[in-house]
Amino acid sequence: MLADAAPWYLPLVVLSTLSWVVALNVEDALESRPWVRRWYRGLPPAMVLGLLVVRTVAILTLDMSHNEVSLHLTASSTMGERWQLLFNGEGAWEGAILALLLFGLFVGHLPSLKDAQPSTKVFVQRRMMVHNGFWALLLMLLLFSSDVHGAMSVMPEAPTQPLPSWSSFGAVLVFTLLLMMAGELLVSSSHQVLNNDTRLLYDRALLKSYFVGAVAWWVMSATGVFEGSWWARPQHHPDHHAAMLVLVYCTLMALFHAPLTQTEGRLSHHTKQSTTLAWSLGLMWFTMTLATWAMTEGVDGAGEGWVAFVKGWRWATSAMLIGGLLMLLPTVGFDGAHRPEAWWFRMGILVGVAVGPIVEPQAWLLVPGCLLGAGAVLVLPWLMESDELPLSLRVGVGALWLIGSAMVLVVEVGQLTLIMALGLLMLLNLADRRFPRLRRLESRA
């Protein structure tokens, strides 16, 4: 098979995709070499397409030396069964990665950017290449096993695994769309410090993220991965593990990072923004430490008492360290946001959520604390910097967060923990959307 006949192919796929992560620098360097730039842009999706073509040929021709064919099909399998395996097996993830890469290339042709300036389309395309290239690499790391394109060493006499159902294709489609829209939110919200060309892209992506995100949470809850036993072995099912990474990242993007970037633009350069940032850092660290401590004590074998507290402190501090290091990037020119330090701090938290569980499965225990901390940080700028909001509203929102957080911390670790933390973040998002309207009404009065 491909891994045996061309052992260089899979490493080249990974390296070409990795090159997209530094697209901002490479694209500028290749500005005067358009042909080289076309190769640079087109090589990753072309290489992934090659993987998909090899898999398609093996499945449709019933090549029993291909591991996926021999594990799921027989020599008498119908054409319908072959297509079912192609669209719902390993080919589904390869198709998702290909779709992500192609979306990064052609995002500038979206109807939402039809009236945008050419410079805005270039801005969006390059940053979408970075975003989608990063996530394509993570999905390859999680889902591409060493024998994904290898040949079977011992042929089984009969299929040892059932055919994956069509629901697998639907789930992959939902999570791929969610990643695309998270990229749209990230890029469009960061560009609005320059002009309003990406406002339509942002609004549409946010609306779609709400709908597709709800479907994605329903899909994941139906798998049972939120039960108490899952927290102890989150990597037992790699596909569920990857889906949860995507789901948590995209949820924080839609309900935390993107709306908070908008809030910072509305409040502009307030004199209290440094104070707000300090309180945001402190609240996020304290909340993640406390929640991770409680989560660790609720998971069998994770630790109790002082051991659980140290684990909670260690994971929360590690996430804060990533955010703190990224906050240094504005000093070297990466400052294209209303409040660049706060922007990069949130990106650090998102990167920690995306990469942490890959390095260490117990990093999943950070997720409820991230959701709770995100809710507090989301409304903090309004509460500290908007003079028009009445005291009763400030007290009410603060009490909502405190009571909701306390309820999340005392429930048994499991599905209810995530649902309650997510619900509290959604309620605070509704308040965040209401604050600008109240501010305008107060100013008119």
What pLDDT, in 10s, does the model give residues 105-158? 999 889 999 888 888 899 999 999 999 999 999 998 888 766 666 666 666 666
pLDDT value for 442: 40
Digit-coded pLDDT (tens) for 66-116: 888 888 888 888 899 889 998 988 889 999 999 999 999 999 889 999 888
Length of the chain: 445
pLDDT for residue 169: 92
pLDDT of residue 18: 93
Q: Note the pTM of the prediction, 2 decimals.
A: 0.90
Same domain, 133 and 268: no
Cα separation, 404 vs 419, in Å, equals 12
Tens-digit pLDDT profile for residues 12-48: 899 999 999 988 888 888 888 889 999 999 999 999 9
Q: Is 30 in the same domain as 151?
A: yes
CA 87 to chain centre: 23
CA distances from 60 to 56, 63, 87 (A): 6, 8, 12
Residues 155 and 273 in one domain: no
- The answer to whether residue 194 is domain-embedded is no
φ, ψ (nearest 5 deg) of residue 159:
-55, 135
Residue 199 lies in a domain: no
Strand partners, 151: 66
Short-list 190, 266, 337, CA closest to 198: 190
Residue 151, SS3 per DSSP: strand
Same domain, 267 and 165: no
CA distance 309 to 291: 10
User: Last residue of a domain, which of 169, 187, 213?
Assistant: 169
Nearest to 270 by CA among 377, 191, 189, 387: 387
Please tell me which residue, 408 or 153, carries the higher pLDDT value. Answer: 408
Domain count, the chain: 2
Tokens 């507290």 sit at which residue? 309
Q: Is the pLDDT of residue 418 over 70?
A: yes
User: 3-class DSSP state for residue 66?
Assistant: strand
In the predicted structure, residue 242 carries a pLDDT above the cut 60 = yes
The stretch 334-346 carries a mean pLDDT of: 82
Instruction: Name the residue range of residue 387's domain.
Output: 263-445
